[in-house]
Amino acid sequence: MHPNAAFRWEEEAAMRAFVAARGFATLCVGGPEGPIVAHAPLIVTAEGRLRFHLARGNRITRHLDGAHGVASVTDADFYVSPDWYASENQVPTWNYLAVEVEGPVTALDETALAAQVEALSDHFERALAPKPVWTRDKMPPGRFEAMLKAIRGFELTPTAWRGTRKMGQNKGPEDRAALARMLAATGRAREAELMAR
C-alpha cells in the first residue's frame, strides 16, 4: 500500500463494500518455487470472508488450501499528466483505488462452492437489470453439477484489510478541481467524480 498517510484507507466497512462491488481479485500465495499469482471472481460473505473459485487446472489451486494469501482488488486507476494541474512544476503520477485482504485460505466443499457460484452470478446478474436474472435452473439437469467439477472453491478469512485511495489528496483544491475537469473532458466521468469527492 502507498506509504503516504494522506492516501491511507482504513474504514473496513467501506473496503468490504468496494471489494464486494468489484468482485474480482488478484490472488497471491507463496509456492515452493516462489510467489504464485492468479485472478478470480469473488464474493464477500456477511462475515467479511472472501469466497472465490478458480479453474481446477490453475497451478495455484494446489497451493491454496492451508496457505496464507493476499487478495488484491483495484479499480479506477488512471495516469495523471502534469499539464492537467492548475499549478506548475508538477510531475506525472498514477492515481488509483486498491485494497489488499490478507489471511489464511481454506478449500470449500462442493456445497459451499455451488453456493459461491450462485451468489456471485446473482449479485452481478442483478446489476444487468432490466435483463431477467440468469439462474442455474436455465441449465439442463446435471449440467451445473458437471461444470462444478472443472473448478475449485476457496475462502480467505481476513486477518488484515489494507487500503489506498490515491486521488490527489496531497494536492491543493485548485489542482484537484483542474484534474477532475480534465478527467471529465477525456471521458473519465467516474474518476472525475472520485477526484471531486
**Among the residues of the chain, which ranges form H helices?**
12-22, 61-64, 110-126, 143-148, 173-185, 189-196
Query: Does any domain span residue 89?
Result: no
Domain span holding position 120: 5-77+94-168
Residue 131 forms part of a structural domain: yes
First to last CA, the chain: 21
Compute the distance between CA of residue 147 and CA of residue 53 in angstroms, rounded to an integer: 12
pTM score: 0.92
The whole-angstrom separation of Cα 135 and Cα 138 is: 6
Contact between 194 and 167 under an 8 Å Cβ cutoff? The reply is yes
In a domain, 42, yes or no: yes
CA atoms within 13 Å, Cβ hemisphere of 77: 8
Task: Say if 142 falls within a structural domain.
Answer: yes
In this structure, is residue 112 part of a structural domain? Answer: yes
Residue 173 inside a domain? The answer is no
What CATH number does residue 101 fall under? 2.30.110.10
Is 101 inside any structural domain?
yes
Please, which pLDDT band fits residue 1 given cuts at 50, 70 and 90?
Answer: confident
Region 140-148: what's the mean pLDDT?
94
Asked, for residue 186, whether it belongs to a domain, the answer is: no
Spatial separation of the C-alpha atoms in residues 114 and 78, rounded to whole Å: 36
Region 73-79: mean pLDDT is 94
Tell me how many domains the chain contains.
1
Residue linked to cell 477532475: 180
